[in-house]
Amino acid sequence: MNIIKFKTSLKCGGCINAIRPHLNKIDGIQSWDVDLDSPNKTLSVNTEAPSTEDLQNTIIIAFKKAGYSAELIK
């Protein structure tokens, strides 16, 4: 299993609810969680995908469509 982490612009549970339908419809995501207590409001995505580059871009685009931002943490 691969874990991909993103710094996000999410601020509260309402923000998470706004992004939830976008993330839930992305193929390749097994589960995801946002840590609102971290300074980066970190999104952790669990995936079985062998290559995560396309998935990373899809997640960033989904955030933009929902009015938020996500940046890959390396």
pLDDT in tens, 4-53: 999 999 999 999 999 999 999 999 999 999 999 999 999 999 998 877 89
pLDDT tens-digit map of 25-34:
999 999 999 9
Domain ranges of the chain: 2-72
Q: Which long-range contacts (CB under 8 A, 24 or more apart) does 36-44 make?
A: 36/10, 36/11, 36/12, 40/7, 40/8, 40/73, 41/7, 41/8, 41/9, 41/10, 41/11, 42/5, 42/6, 42/7, 42/8, 42/73, 43/5, 43/6, 43/8, 43/10, 43/70, 44/3, 44/4, 44/5
The CATH fold of domain 2-72: Alpha-Beta Plaits (3.30.70)
